[in-house]
Amino acid sequence: MEFPDADTVDAALPEVRFPTFARVAYDPATPELDDVRGATREAVASLPLSDVPAGGTVAVGLGSRGIHDIQPIAETVVAELSTAGYDPVVVPAMGSHGGSTAAGQRRTLAALGLTEEALGCPIDARMDAEAVGSTDRGHEVSVASAALAADGIVVVNRVKPHTNFSGRVESGLSKMLTVGLGKRAGARAFHEAAVTHGYVDTIERALDVVRDNASVIGGVAVVENFHDRTAHVEGIPAADLPDAEADLLDRAREYLPTLPVDDLDALVVEKIGKDVSGSGMDTNVIGRYGVVNAADPATPDIDRIAVLGLTEATHGNGHGIGLADVTTAGVAAELDLDQMYTNALTSGSLSRSSIPIVLPSDRHALRAAVATAGHYDPATARIAWVRDTSHLSSFRVSEALLEEVGDAVTVECRERLTFEGGDAGFDPVDE
C-alpha cells in the first residue's frame, strides 16, 4: 500500500507553530517492596501445595508482559516448587499471543528473560488445548493440554486494571486461568462470550469450570506501583478466587500510572508495544477502549493521539495502533500484520489493529494532530508528550498545560520542538 507523499500532505495541512514544552518529573507517593524474592517465597508457601502428590508435576503459567520483576519472581516460584519436592514445568499462558505458535510463545517468554536455562525447568509450549466443560451459558472452556497433564497448576500474573473493561476482577490470576491458559481456542471462545455477556461475568463463570475440572492450586499475584515496580506479592489459593483478587485490584487502581490531567487537545506517544500494554497503549491512560459493547471512560478526554514508533520488544506487533488518530509511514512499515490480525481476530478487538491516518513523517503527524482537533492556538494548546504509557514519571507538557498541572509536577527544563528530516527532536530553551 502506498500512502500519500509529503507534497500531497503539505498541500492539505496548514503550517503550524508548536508551543514550547516543559519536561517535567511526576513522582506521586507510592510503595515499593524491598525483598521481592522473599515475598515470593512466602507467597508460594501460602498455597495449598499439599494437594499435589509428592514428586508430582506442577504447571507454572507464565506469559504476561510488562511485569518489572517477572524474572526473579518466576525463578523463585520454580525454585521453591523444586525445593518442596515437586517437578515444575512452565506452560505459556498467553492465549493466542506469539502468533499462536509454540515457537512464538517460547520467543515471547524468552524476550522476558524466561528460558529453560534461566528458570531451571522445562517449558512445554505446545498449543494444544482441551475443552474441560461449559458454563451455564454454553461457553466452552478450554485449558492447555500441558497444564492438564500436570498434577497441579499455579499461575503467576500481575493484578491490574484491564485495558478492555472494568469490574471487580480484571487482569490477573482469574483471567490468566480462564483466557491465557486456554491457548488460542480458549481465548477465542472467551472473547466471543465476553462480547455478548460482559468480561467480568464471563471470567467468573469460566473460572468455576476451570476449578472444577483442572487441578488448580492457585496463583502468585503481583501488584505494581506508579513506577511499575513491585509493591506487593501474594499467594492466593484457587478457592479464594476471584474475591481475593478484587482487594488487590483496588490497590492496583490506587497505584495506577496516569497523567495528572484529564483533558488534552493532543497526546503524543513516542512508542507503543505489547511490552507496554496488551493494547499497545494503556487504555486507562488514553481513555479509549476500542472494544465492541464497551463505552470509553469519561476521562481522560483526548481529542487526538499521535503514535511515532513501536518498541523493539514488540517485534512489529502494533496491535493497538488503531487507538491512535495519526501515525507515520515509518511505523506502518514496521507493522507485522500476521501477529496483529491474530490478536485482533482472537480477541474480537478489530478496531485496535486498524491502521490510522499514515503520514510521511513525525512533523506531518504532529501537524495533523493539532490542526485537526479544532481551533488551534499554540498559546493555549493542551499537549502532553510521553515516551510510552507505562513510563509517566517524566514527560513533556505544553506551556498552557503546565499552568494546570502546577504543583503536581516539577519542571526539569524547557524545550523547543525541532525536526531533522521530518523526525522530531527537542532542543533546550535558554531561560
Query: Is position 1 within any domain?
Result: no
Distances (CA, A) of 82 to 76, 117, 153: 10, 15, 14
Same domain, 404 and 278: yes
Q: Which of 239, 255, 271 is the last residue of a domain?
A: 255
> What's residue 418's pLDDT?
96
> What's residue 294's pLDDT?
67
CATH code at position 142:
3.40.50.11440
Query: Is position 83 within any domain?
Result: yes
> What's residue 293's pLDDT?
66
Same domain, 269 and 218: no
Enter the C-alpha cell of residue 425: 527532536
Same domain, 81 and 21: no
Query: Is position 212 within any domain?
Result: yes
pTM of the predicted protein model: 0.73
Q: Which of 255, 279, 309 is the last residue of a domain?
A: 255
Same domain, 369 and 405: yes
Same domain, 162 and 296: no
Report the candidate in 106, 232, 221 with the shortest Cα–Cα distance to residue 171: 221
Q: Per residue of the chain (431 residues), what is the pLDDT tens digit?
A: 899 999 999 999 999 999 999 999 998 888 999 999 999 999 999 999 998 999 999 999 999 888 999 999 999 999 999 999 999 999 999 998 888 899 999 999 999 999 999 999 999 999 999 999 999 999 999 999 999 999 999 999 999 988 777 788 989 999 999 999 999 999 989 988 988 888 899 999 999 999 999 999 999 999 999 888 999 999 999 999 999 999 999 999 888 878 999 899 999 999 999 888 888 998 889 999 887 766 777 788 999 999 999 999 999 999 999 999 999 999 999 999 999 998 888 777 899 999 999 999 999 999 999 999 999 999 999 999 999 998 898 999 999 999 888 888 999 999 999 999 999 999 999 76
Q: Which of 238, 255, 272 is the last residue of a domain?
A: 255
Distances (CA, A) of 428 to 201, 224, 245, 431: 51, 33, 46, 9
Query: Is position 290 within any domain?
Result: yes
Same domain, 264 and 179: no
Same domain, 286 and 201: no
Q: Which domain holds residue 288?
A: 6-26+260-428
Same domain, 300 and 192: no
> What's residue 403's pLDDT?
87
> What's residue 181's pLDDT?
95
Same domain, 271 and 245: no
Same domain, 269 and 248: no
Query: Is position 31 within any domain?
Result: no
Same domain, 211 and 271: no
Same domain, 161 and 98: yes
> What's residue 129's pLDDT?
95
Number of domains in the chain: 2
Query: Is position 282 within any domain?
Result: yes
Query: Is position 156 within any domain?
Result: yes
Neighbours of 306 (CB within 10 A): 28
> What's residue 431's pLDDT?
62
Q: Diameter of the chain by CA atoms? A: 73
